[in-house]
Amino acid sequence: RKEVEQDPGPFNVPEGATVAFNCTYSNSASQSFFWYRQDCRKEPKLLMSVYSSGNEDGRFTAQLNRASQYISLLIRDSKLSDSATYLCVVKGGGGADGLTFGKGTHLIIQP
Partner 1 sequence: NAGVTQTPKFRVLKTGQSMTLLCAQDMNHEYMYWYRQDPGMGLRLIHYSVGEGTTAKGEVPDGYNVSRLKKQNFLLGLESAAPSQTSVYFCASEGRTYLSTVLTFGAGSRLTVL
What residue ranges bind partner 1 (CB under 8 A)? 8, 32, 36, 41-46, 49, 87, 89, 91, 95-97, 99, 101-104
Distance of closest approach, residue 46 Cβ to partner 1, in angstroms:
6
Compare residues 11 and 36 and give the one whose CB is closer to partner 1. 36
Strand partners, 50: 33
Distance of closest approach, residue 97 Cβ to partner 1, in angstroms:
5
Compare residues 102 and 109 and give the one whose CB is closer to partner 1. 102
With b for 16 or more beta-carbon neighbours within 10 A and e for fewer, the 18-38 pattern comes to: ebebbbbbeeeebeebbbbbb
Contact 47, 55 (CB under 8 A): no
Compare residues 70 and 101 and give the one whose CB is closer to partner 1. 101
Distance of closest approach, residue 1 Cβ to partner 1, in angstroms:
16
Compare residues 76 and 103 and give the one whose CB is closer to partner 1. 103
Distance of closest approach, residue 67 Cβ to partner 1, in angstroms:
23
Q: What single-letter DSSP state applies at residue 42?
A: S
Contact 42, 84 (CB under 8 A): no
Contact 59, 18 (CB under 8 A): no
